Structure 1
Amino acid sequence: MTQLEKYIDHTLLKPTATIADIKKLCHEAKEHRFKAVCVQGCHLELAKEELGGGSTLLATVLGFPLGGMSTKAKIGEAKDYIEKGADELDMVLNIGWLKSGLDSLVQEEIRQIKQITGDKILKVILETCFLTDDEKKKASHLAVEAGADFIKTSTGFGSGGATFEDVRLIKSVVGDNALIKASGGIKDRPTAVKYIEMGVSRIGTSSGPQLIKTS
């Protein structure tokens, strides 16, 4: 049986998330030994304290959820989050630049963020629901060339989340040069297991406890 807890980024990114909600998220992550928790940047210090130095990694989002802020702003975020103890950064690429054919700007922005993260994990969010298949391929290629550790499908805030077709497409581009995180709309165990069987290394979900309790 697949040990789902090793793949789950237990996630809470709702703007209404309270301090109590974040504490509950971290408690669940420790209880179930999830791979990571993923929270908004303002909750990093609280989450780090609640996790208490255990095995669960601390992730946050960068340029979230639209990806359209300046590179300088994203760099500032990245530096701040690393200082606050983030182990992983999930960064939204600049979708408008990608669609405008500004490939060098997209790639350079990712490269600069990766320079800051160093040995910390950088996941680049494509937001696949807004992209054509050709754009998904190009974005995946640019992210890998810029040094991204993961390609992530979605923010969970767009018009759609992860799909098997998108994961298959991304995998065909990145091969073994980057890992894949499927995120957005994954709410049951069979779906999560199928993604893992397809080669996904992380599952981003707010339904972690339900996924590991269902058969």
Structure 2
Amino acid sequence: MSRITERSLAATIDHAILKPELTRVDVDAELDIAAEWKVFSVCVRPSDIAYAVHRLEGTGVAVGTVIGFPHGTTSTAAKVAEVRQALADGATEFDMVINIGRLRSGAEFDDEVVQDIAAVVEAASGHVTKVILETALLDDEQIARGSRLTERGGADFVKTSTGFAGGGATAAHVRLMGENVGDGVQVKASGGVRSYADALAMLDAGATRLGTSGSAVILGEARRVDAGEESTGAVDAASY
């Protein structure tokens, strides 16, 4: 992979603002980070969508949200309702959690998993939909199958993790996911992407989008590299 610049790296980042304990002051600070570093988007809690759209107006930063988060166990009807409300509030991208239990139950439940994904994709009305597998809870066969089911459901991305299940993205899982989808489906690495080195490793493995709350650390390091300084390899951000 050729060297990536600060600006091209920022264009891959969905800045995560998802922790349940965040206050409005905390959210404001995170939205300011997203605007300052000109990341691709923020991924916010559903209740923060309208506020984030207003605060980020004119910055060029898109607003996305999560659906069925973080467990994926809400009904398909509930996920569809979440998407419709999120669209009304101004969100343009949707990161849905797959029905993890159904995926883990075996191939005989694949049609249910696909129907859940397809309903969310349809409700999104052409907007970008990403399917979170929660790789920390899956074995390699389930990750591969979940990736294929994501493609069958019509989603745009397959995504590693919520960041709330005790594990996050690995380069091996990103590669495995990419190997099991066609060119029309991209891979998003999220959870544990805390440093410039982490970001480069995920992109090198085939991810085209990164989910992280450590955008300032990652892009600050990229800026130093752009300026000709050596990477410090610092890891001092808590990613979702």
When normalised by structure 2's length, the TM-score is 0.87
1:28-79 deviation digits (Å, cap 9, x = unpaired)? 1111110000110000011011101431110100000000011111111111
Paired residue secondary structure (1:174): coil
Equivalent in the alignment of 1:154: 161
Alpha-carbon distance in 1 for matches of 2:186, 2:58 = 25
Instruction: Report Cα offsets for 1:125-163 as digits up to 9, x if no partner.
Output: 000011111111111001101101000000000121000
Q: 1:32 aligns with which of 23, 32, 37?
A: 37
Report the 3-state secondary structure (helix = DSSP H, G, I; strand = E; otherwise coil) of the residue aligned with 2:48: helix
Post-superposition, which runs of at least 4 consecutive aligned residues in structure 1 deviate over 6 A? none
What is the number of residues matched between the two proteins?
A: 215
Q: Which residue of 1 aligns with 2:216?
A: 209
Q: Which residue of 2 aligns with 1:100?
A: 105
C-alpha RMSD of matched pairs (Å)? 1.0
Secondary structure, counterpart of 1:78 in structure 2? helix
Tell me, in whole angstroms, the C-alpha distance in 1 between the residues paired with 2:157 and 2:125.
14
TM-superposed deviation, 1:199: 2.1
Whether the 8 Å CA contact 2:14–2:39 is kept in 1: the answer is yes
Task: Give the match for residue 225 of structure 2.
Answer: none
Q: Pick from 191, 197, 202 the counterpart of residue 204 of structure 2.
A: 197
| CA distance in structure 1 between the partners assigned to 2:25 and 2:105 by the alignment | 42
Give SS of 1:60's match. strand
| Residue matched to 2:224 | none
Q: Percent identity?
A: 40
Structure with larger Rg: 2
Find out whether 1:178 has 2:208 as its counterpart: no
Amino acid across the alignment from 2:62? L
CA offsets, 1:79-137, max 9 Å, x none? 10011110100000001111223111100010011001122110000000111111111
TM-score (norm 1): 0.97
